[in-house]
Chain A
Amino acid sequence: MSLLIKRQIARRSILRGMLGGGALTVALPLFDCFLDDHGEALASGAPIPVRFGTWYWGMGHTPGYAVKERTSVGPVEFLEECKPLNAHRDYINYFGGFNTPLDGRSNYPHESGWIGSRSGAVPSRSGEIPAPTFDLLIADAVGGGTRFRNIDLTSMGNPRETYTARNTFSRAAAETSPVAFYARMFGPEFADPNKGDFKPDPRVMVRKSVLSGIQDESQQLIKSLGAVDQQRLDEYFTSIRQLEGQLALQLEKPPANDACRVPPAPPENAVERQAFAVEIDTVMATHKILTDILVMAVACNQTRVFNMVYNDNFSRVRRKGETYTHHVLTHEEQADPKLGYQPTAFWFNCKSMEACATFLESFKNVREGAGTLLDNMLMFANSETSFARIHSVDNIPVMTFGKAGGRIKTGLHVVGNGDPVTRVGFTCMRVMGMPIESWGVNSLRTTKPISEILV
């Protein structure tokens, strides 16, 4: 597996000198090696970057009711369950017939599928995440130069319900509260790029200096630790450096950005949503509020990589007053003999796609350059199973959203013919400019990007 260098450009020594030398701004190099050469420009003159995100939904699709089957690549045709996606078909690619070979390992229900497609390796025990998920590899490559290298969000109220990890134990807690997320993105530490009264805050300079000192002080610990703990401490130092990077960005005036509009703060009662956030109406409302903050966080260059979870891999979503969750329904609900499917589980799947369409709409509503934010996005969307009732991990539904700044063709349904699902993630990494030649292990290893969508 190819891993890129993850260290951020060091500014510590420069900034440490600022306190003594009185320099108030430090020009930070734009991380522009992955920008589209023929892309459009921001108001500052810098080209518009392509950003990456993931979107997750649990329980897959109802087989035969989501997308019209194809035998070869061609225009995607969404069926009843995915009807809301038709409004955005020109921005979507659908990947059918891609598999998650388990290489003799057990199929851990609702786990093996997402872990395989996102990390390139299937777990050998429940709970294991054997390799980093590829969104983090992309974040390592393109996430510099923004306040947040990556952002994780979930609409489900549980910070653990997120599908991104460095390994089994290194899983960041996702944002669950719209109020907290808003404060993190657009609170006092946010510098509006379109305001002219920027003044660096001396408290930020002090924080930066203090963090540098703590990092220096902690270096001596390394010698006393074993190899595993040294790695953990190194991850701590990486976190410190990222925080220093955030602070460094706060010390310079952000370039003007026409697409950036500070969104209104979510209502205070949104805090209460996180306590009982699994009733469908609440989940959808939370998802919408988080999305609206997210799109502006992306447009305002607070981050270039994010993960959004609509519902979890054991979908606990349910309707108010009903005892069965979406997940339980996929297993226990009787199929309607006339319809040919489980009607309530199907209804929940339709709601997932409705949320998906709303998500895309929010990106489309942000004007950026001559197009929209969605034109400059590449998003990877997937579920953990193709048919939840039997936990199938073959033909797992995967989509991409956005035009990646013109780097990919869209509106296509690509047929995998049993190829490993990792080809989609591998293609995303290549489109994002990562110079990797292969990704995945064992039968999930691939060297073949999906050329059908590449420009």
Chain B
Amino acid sequence: MSRNVPRTDVVMRALACLGVAALLTACGPEAPKVTGAPPDMRRLTDEQYRNSIADVFGASIKIGGKLDPLIRTGGLIALGARSAPITPSGLEMIDQLGRSIAGQVVDAAHRDILVGCGPADSKTFDDACATQFFARTGRMLYRRPLSDTELKARVSAARAATENLGDFYAGLSASLSGMLVSPNFLFVIDSTEPDPANAGALRLDAFAKASRLSFFLWDTTPDDELLAAAEAGALNKSDGLKKQIDRMLSSARLDGGVRGFFADALALDKFDTLEKDSVIYPAFNLSVSEDAREQTLRTISDVLVARGEDYRNLFTTRHTYMSAALARIYRVHVPKTGQWVSYEYPADDPRVGIQSQISFTALHSHPGRSSPTIRGKAVRELLLCQKIPDPPADVDFTKFNDPNSPMKTARDRLSAHTEQPACAGCHKLTDPLGLGMEKFDGAGQLRIVEQDVPIDPTGDLDGKKFTDTAGLGKELHDNAAAAACVVNQLYAYGIGRVPSKPEQPMIAYLQERFAADGYKYTALLKNIVQSDAFFAVSPRTPTTASAQREMTP
């Protein structure tokens, strides 16, 4: 994966385009041609499942469980969706969720709105109402209109269930629960059709395009207008597509898409199993854990969408949001209103950027202590897309914990790594970054000493020295790898797979555009979805399908 674009090129292109932001597409070379990969299918992530249910049936429908976790692949959970099966126990949970959701949809509190019709006597079956219900709901769940056969099958199942259970709504619920375990709902399927512009080639059909756009930009199912555009053929025309893209980028749902991507790219799923010692860190509880995740996502959404700032400002921003639970860890005053409040760190506060937030410092620490190595590794891998090799199998670590050692601080202890050649190579990449965050303990709380020795938070990033976390943020802001990383990850997230080698020119092109656009995240989104590469599919051959699926978890 290409990580760096020469900074001079980036600057030159940015200068060339300066002042003509509205006409940026006219700047620079055209996007490289991309052949894409064979069509495939991706299981809904847990978040996409929840968002879809909320969008189709409303936020009042409770979802009391989780889908099987996906295997992180190529740095992203979303890419694991491409290889995820539905296991027997996973299906059991999906079935349980589906029955619960279907039951709520038709219960007395929801049926008037979500069903909207019904027989005078609920013991009898209302064919017209069932047909209307499944046509409307099925279109939203399957992300395309149901075929006549599918619609008849749903109505028929509801009729049979009504007869056996003696209740129309129980019948509707039973048939609806079937739709919620259907692969047509659980998998986002790349349906294709012959490309009229290229004889012998394929293209995604309009409904597959709608799904790809919607799950990328909104992390949820297409809305009615997008499906209507697909039905009308508008997504196969450049102006129709552009209109929908512009609408989606200006929609409030974009926030869901931003959250979906960054929760994945920053590995915030680790909060699900994060553990902190309650004796060592009594202030750290489940509320802190939940709010820390939310704080970072709110910060990102604010910087990138609400304020439309430079992506790199995520590493230097002093603005964030605070809850009462977090205030205990950050040791700041927040009114106990139960609401989130906007918060600005003072100019002399060492907390600068998302890398200083609990979601980074506590998430990448041990349960009872900090870890410069784990934090440094997280900076390299999550923020710079630079893979750190696993440690060798036969290292003797005992010298790092010698009780007779005079070493008091993590900096002292880690210095021992430099004496071991097998360790030094990787620790030189990680530790100087993590040591810059040592003023935050394993729970993310500010501290100034470790075992009564003042903490030295200096470090360096690829030879650029800094004196504290704020300095680290400044170096991340200025490091070309950070901007390149988000482009790489976002592109992979959008197409749902690890990009192939022939796609590297496309990624390099997007990196250039990102710089030229002032590192505006929404501009990057737009460049990706407006590119031919985003929708490109290649014909399936006997070997490509399996070869393409060979990915490193």
Contact surface of A with B, Cβ cutoff 8 Å: 19, 106-109, 125-128, 148-149, 152, 157-160, 166, 168-173, 184, 202-203, 205-207, 209-211, 213-214, 216-218, 221, 224-229, 232-233, 235-236, 238-240, 242-243, 246, 275-279, 316, 318, 320-325, 328, 331-335, 389-391
Contact = CB atoms under 8 A, between A and B. Distances in A.
A184 B65 CA distance: 13
A331 B545 contact: no
B553 A128 contact: yes
B523 interface: no
Interface in B175-224: 175, 177-179, 181-184, 189, 191
Interface string B518-553: 000000000000000000000010100110010011
Given A227-B542, A320-B277, A236 B91 contact: yes
Nearest to A230: B545
Contacts of A235: 85-87
Contacts of A109: 390-391, 393
B423 to A, nearest CB: 12
A171 B89 CA distance: 10
Contacts of A232: 41, 83-86
B186 to A, nearest CB: 8
22 contacts: A126-B553, A127-B71, A157-B275, A169-B85, A173-B68, A202-B165, A209-B161, A210-B161, A211-B181, A217-B153, A221-B184, A227-B542, A227-B545, A232-B86, A240-B181, A243-B88, A246-B92, A323-B280, A323-B366, A324-B401, A325-B367, A390-B394
B87 A172 contact: yes
A214 B80 CA distance: 25
B182 A331 contact: no
- Looking at A106, A207, A277, the one whose CB has the most chain B CB atoms below 10 A away is A207
Given A109-B391, A243-B91, A218 B157 contact: no
B381 interface: no
B400 interface: yes
B108 interface: no
Nearest to A240: B91
Nearest to A128: B553
Contacts of A320: 277-279
Contacts of B8: none
Given A224-B191, A235-B85, A236-B86, A209 B157 contact: yes
A152 B89 CA distance: 9
A12 to B, nearest CB: 14
Contact of A218 (B164, B183, B396, B553): B183
A47 B184 CA distance: 43
A170 B278 CA distance: 35
Contacts of B41: 225, 229, 232
Nearest to A323: B368
Given A331-B397, A332-B397, A278 B69 contact: no
Q: Give chain B's interface residue range (CB within 8 Å of chain A).
A: 35 or more
A176 to B, nearest CB: 9
Contacts of A238: 88
A209 B92 CA distance: 16
A397 to B, nearest CB: 18
Interface string B69-111: 1010000000010011111111111010001000000000000
B174 interface: yes
B32 interface: no
A208 B390 CA distance: 48
Interface in B441-466: 442
B108 to A, nearest CB: 19
Q: Which 5 A-B pairs have the closest CB atoms?
A: A323-B368, A226-B545, A321-B279, A332-B401, A127-B553
Interface string B379-407: 00000000000110111111011110000
Contacts of A202: 164-165
A108 to B, nearest CB: 7
A239 B177 contact: no
Contacts of B393: 106-109, 390-391
A19 B71 contact: no
B40 interface: yes
B88 A172 contact: yes
Nearest to B42: A229
A214 B71 contact: no
B174 A210 contact: yes
Given A158-B273, A221-B189, A334-B402, A207 B174 contact: yes
Contacts of B87: 166, 170-173, 235, 239
- Looking at B91, B150, B273, B394, the one whose CB has the most chain A CB atoms below 10 A away is B273
Nearest to B181: A214
A343 to B, nearest CB: 12
Nearest to A224: B191
A173 B401 CA distance: 35
B280 A226 contact: no
